[in-house]
Amino acid sequence: MNGTATHRTVIVVGSGPTGLLLAGDLATAGVPVTLLEKRPHKISNLSRAFGVHARTLEQLDARGLADRLLATGDTITGLRAFDRLTLDLGTLESRFPFLLITPQYEVERLLERRAREAGVEFAYESEVVGLRQDADGVELEVRGADGTVAVRRAAYVVGADGHHSAVRRAIGLDFPGVSVIKSLFLADVRLTERPEDVLTVNGAGDCFAMIASFGDGWYRVMGWNRRHEVPDDVPIDLDEVKDVTRRALGTDYGMHDARWLSRFHSDERQAPRYRVGRVFLAGDAAHIHSPAGGQGMNTGLQDAANLSWKLAAAVQGWAPEGLLGTYETERHPVGRAVLRSSGGLVRLARAQSPALRAVRALVSAVGNLVGPARRKALGQISGIGYRYPAPRGAHRLTGTRVPDVALKGGRLYEALRGGRFVLIAPEAYEGQGAREDRLTVERWASDRRTALLVRPDGYVAWAAESPDAAAVERALTAHLG
Ligand SMILES: Cc1cc2nc3c(=O)[nH]c(=O)nc-3n(C[C@H](O)[C@H](O)[C@H](O)COP(=O)(O)OP(=O)(O)OC[C@H]3O[C@@H](n4cnc5c(N)ncnc54)[C@H](O)[C@@H]3O)c2cc1C
């Protein structure tokens, strides 16, 4: 690869959901991108994640994919835990006030098709085994199917290579944390009796079980028995799954025909940094946590949405000073918050100490969270409640997520489909000019006087009340060059 091409190329390592979204975004923005994947090409039907939250659906909507994904599963509006604690997702201020239950492979299929159509170069059976970087680029050692190692060079590399990330190791970052659940099982089964709800969850005594409908006749069962914690490689059979499910849910719904049974343990870990020089980490390579709350895939997709437009801006030469650094300052605290909240849920579910059991009893007795606590929990679980740090003195909306507001020409998440910033201006503003490759100008459908500069990932970059044209121009220059 010659120097010029290298300068404009990004290599994404790992074709899980995080890598697929990121690579697709970069290619859509016109950046040459290669996706390296160590496995042969095959999207597994043995899904891990099965819950897609509101903020992820909004990001998919901004890419024209949400409606297609919605057609693959069922939605639920109420989440229940510890018998009586309920969260009503129906009150979310989002176009998607629910949780979509669909297997992870449906998300991957959609993202892969989009990435291919956008021109991503896919290289399967390509395992990253080494990495070096210098001031101008990054060199990867990639082992192919025949065992030979070739060198590939790029301007930037993103390690979206999961839990055991080779990229993370190669840039010298550790992955500190603890094991939160020592022994869980997973099974995909058919049921003779159909559960009343799309998602059924309960814990009783030492057992916990959850059943989710994939909507195509298959059900995911996840559970544990605190009195039977064994290593991941101890064989598991359907009788054990049935037994734990009956103890936790009162019935096993006539489970049969398991297509997949597996044991695993769940860790809680986060890389201390998400970037070293020209190399970034995203998704499970950067953070992993318990499956409680269904946050892993969702958080990885949000990482990708945050990083992709910044990398595109850097490669295309219009990124303001410091923009790439904001990936870590924005996403690392979110990763930490997700670790804390999903870990908290698991600790309550597994409560053994009298103090924790008392907290759980109190939470259950209250039944429904109210006011700010409820809003905070809903915002965290759905992902719509996160905001990014704003500079001192900035407008109060800076850094917040923008909902799908009505515009004269349609709605915001349609306007974001170009992958550009969207300026929602109260007056006719003619400043798009030379920036039309990275800016769309829209008007409010209402007579609102706020000017909002919305980033490609749907967060406010800048806002002002009734600004004059010079102020808008200054903001555009600061953010878009
Ligand atoms: C039981 C279970 C239930 C879950 N439920 C949910 C849920 O409901 N909601 C949710 O949001 N999340 C959930 N998760 C988590 C979710 O599955 C992960 O967070 C998600 O898959 C992470 O995506 P990723 O793209 O970051 O990494 P991965 O999906 O792990 O993809 C990484 C890819 O990198 C490839 N790779 C690895 N090393 C290399 C290398 N050296 N070179 C090249 N390629 C490499 C791998 O083959 C893999 O394809 C669950 C997880 C489990 C285990």
- Model confidence over 296-350: pLDDT tens digits? 999 999 999 999 999 999 999 999 999 999 999 999 999 999 998 876 666 666 6
How far is CA 472 from each of CA 35, 115, 436, 463, 478, rounded to the nearest angstrom?
38, 34, 15, 9, 10
Averaged pLDDT for residues 170-178: 96
Cα separation, 296 vs 325, whole angstroms: 23
Q: How much distance in Å is there from the Cα of 162 to the middle of ligand 1? A: 5
How far is CA 360 from each of CA 275, 290, 374, rounded to the nearest angstrom?
38, 18, 16
Report which secondary-structure segment, H or E, holds 362: helix 354-366
pLDDT of residue 85: 59
Region class of 147: left (phi > 0), else alpha (psi between -120 and 50), else beta? left
Which residue's CA is minimally distant from atom 25 of ligand 1?
16
The three-state secondary structure class of 78 is strand
- Residue 199, pLDDT > 70, answer yes
Show the tokens assigned to 9. 């190329």
Which residue's CA is minimally distant from atom 31 of ligand 1?
16
Judge if the beta carbon of residue 47 lies within 6 A of ligand 1: no
Report whether 258 contacts 220 (CB < 8 A): no
- pTM comes to 0.92
Q: Which of 74, 129, 220, 297 to mutate to test the pocket of ligand 1 (most atoms within 8 A of CB)?
A: 297
Q: How much distance in Å is there from the Cα of 322 to the middle of ligand 1? A: 29
Cα separation, 466 vs 429, whole angstroms: 12
Q: What is the pLDDT of residues 51-69, one digit of tens each?
A: 999 999 999 999 999 999 9
Report whether 24 contacts 120 (CB < 8 A): yes
Q: What is the DSSP letter of 400?
A: P
Which residue's CA is minimally distant from atom 2 of ligand 1?
48
pLDDT of residue 120: 98
Cα separation, 15 vs 448, whole angstroms: 42
- The type of residue at 77 is T
Judge if the beta carbon of residue 160 lies within 6 A of ligand 1: yes
pLDDT band at 3 (very low <50, low <70, confident <90, very high): very low
pLDDT band at 79 (very low <50, low <70, confident <90, very high): low
Share of the chain above pLDDT 70, in %: 88
Judge if the beta carbon of residue 186 lies within 6 A of ligand 1: yes
pLDDT band at 477 (very low <50, low <70, confident <90, very high): very high
Q: What is the pLDDT of residues 105-149, one digit of tens each?
A: 999 999 999 999 999 999 999 999 999 999 999 999 999 999 999
CA 284-300-313 angle, 5° bins:
120
Could you list the beta-strand ranges (E) of 40-105: 51-52, 74-76, 78-81, 85-88, 99-101
Cα separation, 126 vs 147, whole angstroms: 10
pLDDT of residue 293: 73
Sequence-ordered alpha helix ranges (H) in 36-193: 54-61, 66-70, 104-118, 166-170
Q: How much distance in Å is there from the Cα of 297 to the middle of ligand 1? A: 7
Q: What residues have CB less than 8 Å from 346, skipping those under 6 apart?
A: 180, 181, 266, 290, 292
Cα separation, 184 vs 262, whole angstroms: 8
Q: How much distance in Å is there from the Cα of 298 to the middle of ligand 1? A: 11
Largest distance between two CA atoms of the chain: 71
Q: How much distance in Å is there from the Cα of 109 to the middle of ligand 1? A: 14
Question: Any idea of the CA torsion for 112, 117, 121, 126, to the nearest 10 degrees?
Answer: 20
How big is the chain, counted in residues?
Answer: 481
Stretch among 145-159, 286-300, 325-339, 455-469 having the lowest mean pLDDT = 286-300
Cα separation, 27 vs 424, whole angstroms: 26
Q: How much distance in Å is there from the Cα of 294 to the middle of ligand 1? A: 12
Judge if the beta carbon of residue 188 lies within 6 A of ligand 1: no
pLDDT band at 430 (very low <50, low <70, confident <90, very high): low
The three-state secondary structure class of 470 is helix
Orientation of helix 104-118 relative to helix 17-28, angle to 10°? 20
Q: What residues have CB less than 8 Å from 5, skipping those under 6 apart?
A: 32
Task: Say if strands 275-276 and 287-288 run parallel, antiparallel, or are unpaired.
Answer: unpaired
Q: How much distance in Å is there from the Cα of 241 to the middle of ligand 1? A: 24
